[in-house]
């Protein structure tokens, strides 16, 4: 049996997931579903809201619709179109979004919390994030949040990440020493509600492969934070998501560079904080066949990339950054842009705290950096909504503003398709068909 580093609360093991219409499904019966861990309150089924006059950015990546109309009955979007062509049902509560933009609720694919209600509410929901996934924190960290009566985003969990001795985060990891333990950990996590599995950087490739096989049998994806295993090997083993742009460094560096990096990190896990920048500062992106081969593999396999650039941001002359840190980060930005240009599926992960943003603004800083990396604002907005929903496996009901989808959406001042920072000007948030009370502006 795999060993968790500390005894976990049994509360999460008893949680029942709820489909949008309220039908309960036990996690350990039949195939796994990508389902939030919390039940989201919904309005009365016959309540109707019409949001009119706003610039609709529906998440599909097409040209925004001016002067739109969105009709919501209960918690479901029932009509979307031009204000002049979309009938508004009698008795509907009409909200005028004139002069503002309307978008799907944002999806944070990489958010960490620990026994906190305030962070998911203040950092995420109040800033327009209606769904988030914590990749790799144990279920016990969410006992407080899931027991709270507060309005919180949709919470998707992976359970404790799978790591090998000497584990990096003893309080967060499921310790794996054999392939059987990897498979057992996956089964246990999925039974308890995990809608994805995260493998961590000391886990060897054979155990990653076993975890992927077990996860695929349960219809859940595997995402990875890598340092010692090369990204192309992990993708070949079945990983379908990569957390952190730094995870690609050992696949594109020279053999000598990679050998030195792995030697230092193998001896001391903490050395990765310095040596990942040293590695990336030396990486040659131009005329490097390994770069093209890796990006081709990412695109061909449909791997989701969550760069979390903001957590690695270093700038020359700022916050005591070294020359290697600034040069390494510059290459991380460039590689992210190359991935997007080639057609890779980039998503937005905030990592909760980042050095160049105020508390609760990490997500906004991440989208700004994706634009700096070369993405158009509209493409970033698609990554933040539709592609994020695809990564979480909930794109059948979330991620776009379309008839039949659940009514998770936001209203912002300005136009983030021309100025991405306008995404930080959230004025209204709707979660599952109900407006969220926001702090006074």
Which domains are delineated in the chain? 106-392 (3.20.20.140)
pTM comes to: 0.92
Token reading at 433: 């068909």
Computed over every residue of the chain, the mean pLDDT equals 93
Q: What is the pLDDT of residues 71-84, one digit of tens each?
A: 999 999 999 999 99
Token reading at 52: 């009119």
Q: What is the pLDDT of residues 385-423, one digit of tens each?
A: 999 999 999 999 999 999 999 999 999 999 999 999 999
* Across 53-71, average pLDDT: 98
DSSP H helical ranges for 271-358: 272-282, 289-300, 309-312, 323-342
pLDDT of residue 12: 35
* Across 31-48, average pLDDT: 87
Confidence band, pLDDT 50/70/90 cuts, at residue 33? low
* Across 157-168, average pLDDT: 97
- Please check the confidence at residue 2 and state whether its pLDDT lies above 90: no
What's the CA gap between 65 and 21, in Å, rounded? Answer: 29
pLDDT of residue 19: 32
* Across 353-365, average pLDDT: 97
| Chain centroid, CA 275 distance in Å | 25
Which sign, positive or negative, has the C-alpha torsion 278, 281, 282, 284?
A: positive
Confidence band, pLDDT 50/70/90 cuts, at residue 54? very high
pLDDT of residue 97: 98
Share of the chain above pLDDT 70, in %: 92
- Please check the confidence at residue 382 and state whether its pLDDT lies above 50: yes
Q: Which helix (H) or strand (E) holds 191?
A: helix 179-191
Q: What is the pLDDT of residues 291-336, one digit of tens each?
A: 999 999 999 999 999 999 999 999 999 999 999 999 999 999 999 9
**Which residues face 52 on adjacent strands?**
69, 96
Integer angstrom CA distances of residue 116 from 143, 150, 311? 9, 11, 20
- Please check the confidence at residue 20 and state whether its pLDDT lies above 80: no
- Please check the confidence at residue 146 and state whether its pLDDT lies above 90: yes
Higher pLDDT, 127 or 27: 127
pLDDT of residue 34: 85
Q: Cis omega before residue 166 (within 30°)?
A: yes
What's the CA gap between 432 and 40, in Å, rounded? Answer: 7
What's the CA gap between 325 and 78, in Å, rounded? Answer: 50
pLDDT of residue 31: 45
């Amino acid at each position: 049996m795999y060993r968790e580093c500390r005894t976990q609360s049994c509360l999460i093991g008893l949680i029942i997931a709820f489909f949008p219409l309220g039908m309960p499904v036990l996690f350990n019966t039949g195939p796994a579903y990508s389902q939030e861990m919390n039940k989201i309150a919904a309005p009365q089924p016959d309540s109707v809201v019409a949001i009119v006059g706003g610039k609709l950015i529906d998440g599909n990546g097409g040209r925004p619709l001016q002067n739109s109309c969105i009709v919501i009955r209960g918690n479901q979007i029932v009509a979307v179109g031009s204000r002049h062509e979309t009938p508004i049902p009698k008795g509907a509560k009409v909200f005028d979004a004139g002069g503002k933009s309307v978008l799907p609720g944002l999806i944070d694919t990489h958010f960490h919390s620990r026994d906190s209600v305030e962070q998911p509410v203040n950092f995420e929901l109040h800033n327009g994030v209606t769904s988030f996934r914590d990749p790799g924190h144990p279920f016990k960290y969410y006992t407080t949040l899931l027991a709270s009566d507060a309005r919180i985003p949709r919470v998707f969990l992976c359970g404790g990440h799978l790591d090998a001795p000497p584990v990096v985060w003893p309080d967060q990891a499921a310790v794996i020493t054999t392939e059987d333990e990897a498979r057992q950990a996956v089964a246990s996590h999925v039974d308890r509600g995990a809608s994805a599995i995260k493998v961590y950087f000391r886990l060897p490739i054979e155990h990653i492969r076993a975890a992927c096989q077990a996860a695929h049998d349960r219809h859940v994806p595997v995402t990875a934070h890598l340092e010692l295993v090369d990204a192309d090997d992990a993708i070949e083993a079945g990983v379908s998501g990569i957390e952190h742009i730094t995870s690609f460094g050992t696949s594109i560096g020279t053999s000598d560079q990679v050998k030195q990096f792995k030697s230092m990190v193998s001896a001391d896990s903490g050395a990765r904080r310095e040596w990942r920048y040293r590695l990336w500062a030396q990486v040659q992106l131009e005329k490097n066949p390994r770069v093209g081969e890796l990006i081709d593999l990412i695109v061909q396999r449909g791997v989701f990339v969550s760069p979390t650039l903001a957590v690695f941001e270093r700038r020359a002359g700022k916050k005591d950054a070294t020359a290697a840190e600034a040069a390494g980060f510059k290459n991380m930005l460039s590689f992210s842009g190359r991935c997007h240009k080639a057609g890779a599926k980039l998503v937005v992960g905030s990592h909760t705290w980042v050095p160049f943003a105020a508390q609760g603004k990490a997500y906004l800083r991440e989208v700004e950096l994706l634009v700096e990396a070369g993405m158009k604002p509209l493409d970033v907005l698609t990554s933040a909504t539709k592609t994020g929903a695809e990564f979480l496996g909930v794109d059948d009901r979330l991620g776009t503003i379309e008839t039949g989808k659940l009514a998770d959406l936001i209203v912002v001042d300005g136009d983030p398709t021309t100025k991405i920072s306008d995404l930080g000007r959230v004025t209204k948030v709707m979660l599952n068909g109900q407006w969220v009370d926001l702090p006074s502006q």
